[in-house]
Amino acid sequence: MLAMDQGVVEEWLSEFKTLPDSAVSNYASSLKDKGALVPALYKVIRENYSDLLEPVCHQLFEFYRSGEPQLQRFTLQFLPELLWSLLSVSAARDPHTSGCIEALLLGIYNLEIVDKDGQSKVLSFTVPSLSKPSVYHEPSAIGSIALTEGALANHGLSRVVYSGPHLQRETFTAQNRFEVLTFLLLCYNAALSYMTSTSLQSLCQLSSRVCICGYPRQHLRRYKGISARLTVTSDFLVQLITGIHYALCNGEVELGSKALDDVLYRAQLELFPEALLVGNAIKSSLHGAALKSNNKEGARSIQVEITPTSSRISRNAVTSLSIRGHRWKRHESDAALGGVGIPEISVTGVSGERMPNGDSLRLRPDGDTLGAASEVSLDPRGHDSSTRSQEVRRQKSNNKASFLS
């Protein structure tokens, strides 16, 4: 570590200790103007044997415990690098060099799982309904949903998933390590729009390293770090994919694409269905769309499909509305032709319907024809054969008289 970087970090450590409580907010706003501070802190975190690592971790925890949102986000931007330092040291089986990092991560976790009154938090997440548009999907893109009794009963209902309460943790163990790290990534993803490009790059590098170390793809990526395999969970990979999705849409196309492929590679090896589902869905949605932009400046966003203004109902769909519209158009065309009416098709008296004797019913242009045709019943079960024959003969005579006149 250069002496200049060390001097920047030492100055940062000393100025916050003498800061009064009334000046914390202004101090938090001024941190973004310290351009040399963040790179210097990254160097301290990456050097596990640095003498400044312990005071830096203590300072970052004080930032988070202060409750000032800008100071908390300043600490969270280093979370991916802190996670990798912890996991790499754990894989090397040298836990003594990561004690201060463990204390920092556990301190953030224990602060986040309780509210201001010290009560355990229960986080809730609303699962979007497939019948209503959201930032995650468009009903029109899914296709028609069958109107079954169950679908109608659940229409408009929202499913809420709860997480918590979470237990307080005093130390990392093999059983609770990824439970804590997954929750910390959830907190990091909640503040993604405030993260810098350096932090997003660190997240992508963390994702790739965790997923390929100890596997053949490590040689393909030419990563010469640790070669031990790191244990992961499906929930941990899902949180990584969430952050990668945001990085892909905000300028980190190359690193984000590699990280997403590496996470999917590990999910396939581990047979994690949740990670495969989320990862492949994001990969399909971003294919040839959001990856075109490499702009790292401006507003942060995630590309989604916008609800179209025009209807996507098929023109060939037969509905009650389309039937009424067809009748209105027909009546308007009749009026344009001078009032010559075209008789409506009747279910019981259809023009051209074949009778039992082989003749067909034809309508006359005058009004009597419609009345005569309506008197003929096409249901042979309602009349005897003699009555039916009389009606047919009368219809023939009427048609013949009309033709001669």
- 349-369 pLDDT per residue, tens: 444 444 444 444 444 444 444
Which sign does the torsion angle of CA 372, 374, 378, 381 carry? negative
Which sign does the torsion angle of CA 173, 174, 176, 181 carry? positive
pLDDT, average across residues 215-236: 84
pLDDT value at position 329?
A: 60
Of the two residues 105 and 294, the one the predictor is more confident about is 105
pLDDT, average across residues 126-150: 65
pLDDT, average across residues 241-259: 92
pLDDT value at position 398?
A: 62
Separation of alpha carbons 281 and 347, rounded Å: 50
With a CB cutoff of 8 Å and minimum separation 6, the contacts of 341 are 334
DSSP one-letter string for 227-268: -S-----HHHHHHHHHHHHHHHTTT-HHHHHHHHHHHHHHHH
Tens-place pLDDT, residues 234-246: 999 999 999 999 9
pLDDT value at position 310?
A: 46
- Residue 146: count other Cβ atoms within 10 Å of its Cβ: 6
Separation of alpha carbons 398 and 179, rounded Å: 90
- The domain spans of the chain are 167-305, 345-405
Q: Where are the alpha helices (DSSP H) in 129-271?
A: 139-142, 149-153, 177-190, 197-212, 217-221, 234-248, 253-270
Q: Output the pTM of the full model.
A: 0.68
Assign 303 to helix, strand or coil. Answer: coil
How many alpha carbons lie under 13 Å from residue 30 in its C-beta half-sphere?
8
Tens-place pLDDT, residues 60-70: 999 999 889 99
pLDDT value at position 120?
A: 87
* pLDDT(382) > 50: no
pLDDT value at position 378?
A: 46
* pLDDT(179) > 60: yes
With a CB cutoff of 8 Å and minimum separation 6, the contacts of 291 are 248, 253, 257
* pLDDT(210) > 80: yes
Of the two residues 119 and 332, the one the predictor is more confident about is 119
Q: Which helix (H) or strand (E) holds 123?
A: strand 123-127
Nearest to 282 by CA among 131, 136, 128, 133: 136
> What percent of the chain has a predicted confidence (pLDDT) above 70?
62
Average of per-residue pLDDT values in the chain? 76
In DSSP terms, 126 is beta-bridged to 160
> What percent of the chain has a predicted confidence (pLDDT) above 90?
35
pLDDT, average across residues 153-168: 75
pLDDT, average across residues 47-66: 90
Of the two residues 34 and 192, the one the predictor is more confident about is 192
Tens-place pLDDT, residues 286-337: 765 545 445 555 555 555 555 554 444 455 555 666 666 666 565 655 555 5
pLDDT value at position 133?
A: 72
Contact 104, 55 (CB under 8 A): no
pLDDT value at position 165?
A: 87
Residue 373 banded pLDDT, cuts 50, 70, 90: very low
Contact 169, 106 (CB under 8 A): yes
Nearest to 240 by CA among 176, 178, 173: 178
Residue 24 banded pLDDT, cuts 50, 70, 90: confident
